[in-house]
Amino acid sequence: MMASDGKGPARGHIDLRDIRVSFMQNGAALDAVSGVTLDVEPGEFVSVVGPSGCGKSTLLNIVAGFLKPSAGKAMVDGKPIDGPGSERGVVFQQYSLFPWLKVRENVEFGLRMQGMGRAERESKARTLLGLAGLLSFENHYPDQLSGGMKQRVGIVRALATGPQVLLMDEPFGALDAQTRVVMQEILTNMWQQLRLSVLFITHDIEESIFLSDKVYVMTARPGRIKAEIPIPLPRPRTPEMTASPTFMALHRQLKALIREESLAAMGGELRDGGLGQDWHLGSQDDVRAVL
């Protein structure tokens, strides 16, 4: 679903077609992700949810250019993805700020790589930090910030180079529940102003509904798209909406879908020797103890 005011940019279209990712394990090819087709329209906010280990992050790594799919087409604006690039900003779960750079220097990093002059990148970084309410921390080192602030810096840094696409890999996963809610509001407000395409990976159902125009639900491994759920909540989003009947209905629907998959995933683990392996290790230890 497109943003309603029509200000959306013409670029930033993520297009994944029939993506398969397989890797070798114990001599056998194993699919992490299989037959995934996914679409993020320009200016759209799209979330991917699913049980842990379903390959959500694998999809993001493909779009980011860290990973080549074993089969299928991965394109941004019609061009095949070939390695990482600053037109696709990435926000990682582990903050990933450079500890040796001050907050502003972290934000300036991408601009510096583009060859922007000192004065220009300084003023641009300051503007962005001001928008994120972090200007008074520009000369702090990342280790001096709280988790929520670090992640705001991470987002600002990813946005500084003016990407058409923002890829976020469970960006609030390491934050406590209260901070996470605040960060979601900050993010939806920033997105409202910038209107760039966002691919958001999360395991938090509420978060995915609150932020997104569209939510993809993935199956347990091998990850496939189980459902594509449009989120018809109006924009801009406010915290009150989480109590609305639409929100609640979506929440129930998504929860049911994911529950099935989580159970399947756990069942699969039990079947595929999750327990069996432990037992095996245990018995090996026993042998060692006897020896």
Partner 1 sequence: MASAIPMRAVGPQADAATARTAELHKVEEGMNPPLLIKRRDLHRAPPTPAGLPPGTGARLLGLLRAQLGSLALSVLSIALLLGFWYLGTEYRWDFYIRFTNVPSPGEVFTELMGLVGSTQFQTNIGTSVGRILSGFCIATALGVVLGLLCGRYAVLKGLLFPALEVLRPIPAIAWVPISIMLWPSTETSIIFITFIGAFFPILLNTLHGVASVDPVLIRAARCLGAGELALLVRVILPGALPHIFTGLAVGMGVAWVSLIAAEMISGQFGVGYFTWEAYSLIEYPHIVIGMLVIGVLGLLCSGGIRLLARLAMPWQRAGHKENG
Residues of this chain that bind partner 1 (CB under 8 A): 64-66, 83-86, 88-90, 92, 94, 96, 98-101, 109-110, 113-114, 140-148, 157-158, 161, 174-176, 179
Residue 109 Cβ vs partner 1, minimum distance, rounded to whole Å = 5
Q: Would you say 6 or 117 has its CB closer to partner 1?
A: 117
Instruction: Find, among 89, 48, 90, the residue nearest to 213 by Cα.
Output: 48
Q: Is the dihedral of CA 97, 99, 102, 105 positive or negative?
A: negative
Backbone angles phi, psi at 66, to 5 degrees: -80, -20
Which amino acid is it at 2?
Answer: M
Residue 74 Cβ vs partner 1, minimum distance, rounded to whole Å = 16
Residue 39 Cβ vs partner 1, minimum distance, rounded to whole Å = 22
Q: Would you say 27 or 117 has its CB closer to partner 1?
A: 117
Per the DSSP assignment, residues forming a β-bridge with 199 are: 46, 167
Residue 282 Cβ vs partner 1, minimum distance, rounded to whole Å = 33
Q: Would you say 84 or 230 has its CB closer to partner 1?
A: 84
Q: Report the C-alpha gap between 49 and 269 in whole angstroms.
A: 19
Q: What is the DSSP string of 191-255?
A: HHHH--EEEEE-S-HHHHHHH-SEEEEEPSSSB-EEEEEE----SS--GGGGGSHHHHHHHHHHH
Q: Would you say 9 or 65 has its CB closer to partner 1?
A: 65
Residue 25 Cβ vs partner 1, minimum distance, rounded to whole Å = 21
Q: Do residues 206 and 250 lie in contact, with contact meaning Cβ atoms separated by under 8 Å?
A: no
Q: Would you say 204 or 260 has its CB closer to partner 1?
A: 204
